[in-house]
């Protein structure tokens, strides 16, 4: 399985849209910034057919260090998530 980086993704976006590589990279950066800013603000971002970006709260908990067996405290935190939409699931299936 091949892994695409941001540059390769911007190049494919440029090929698909007719934008030049610089414009597609700027668009991709702006797209990521808009999603990140909305998630920081606690908003969900829904792209119909593609998926939902959101934030979940994880409660504080006690865990065990697998090497030492020592119990450690893991503080509460907010984590981003992505839930794939129907069209994306169908495309991958």
- Please report the pLDDT score of residue 87 as a whole number: 95
Q: Say how far apart CA 81 and CA 44 lie, in whole Å.
A: 10
- Please report the pLDDT score of residue 38 as a whole number: 97
Axis crossing angle, helix 21-40 with helix 6-17, rounded to the nearest 10:
120
- Please write the tens of the pLDDT for every residue from 11-27: 999 999 999 999 999 99
User: Other C-beta atoms within 10 Å of 34: how many?
Assistant: 11
CATH number assigned to the domain with residue range 44-93, chosen from the 4 options 3.40.50.300, 3.30.830.10, 3.40.50.2000, 4.10.520.10: 4.10.520.10
- Please report the pLDDT score of residue 66 as a whole number: 92
User: Other C-beta atoms within 10 Å of 90: how many?
Assistant: 10
Domain boundaries, the chain: 1-43, 44-93
Averaged over 77-82, what is the pLDDT? 96
What band does 1 get if pLDDT is binned at 50, 70 and 90? confident
User: Other C-beta atoms within 10 Å of 42: how many?
Assistant: 9
């Amino acid at each position: 399985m091949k892994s695409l980086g941001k540059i390769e993704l911007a190049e494919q976006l440029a090929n698909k849209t007719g934008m030049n590589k610089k414009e597609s990279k700027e668009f991709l950066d702006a797209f990521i910034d808009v999603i990140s800013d909305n998630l920081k603000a606690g908003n969900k971002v829904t792209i119909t057919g593609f998926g939902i970006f959101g934030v979940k709260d994880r409660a504080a908990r006690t865990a065990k260090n697998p090497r030492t067996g020592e119990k450690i405290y893991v503080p509460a935190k907010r984590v981003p998530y992505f839930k794939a939409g129907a069209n994306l699931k169908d495309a991958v299936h």
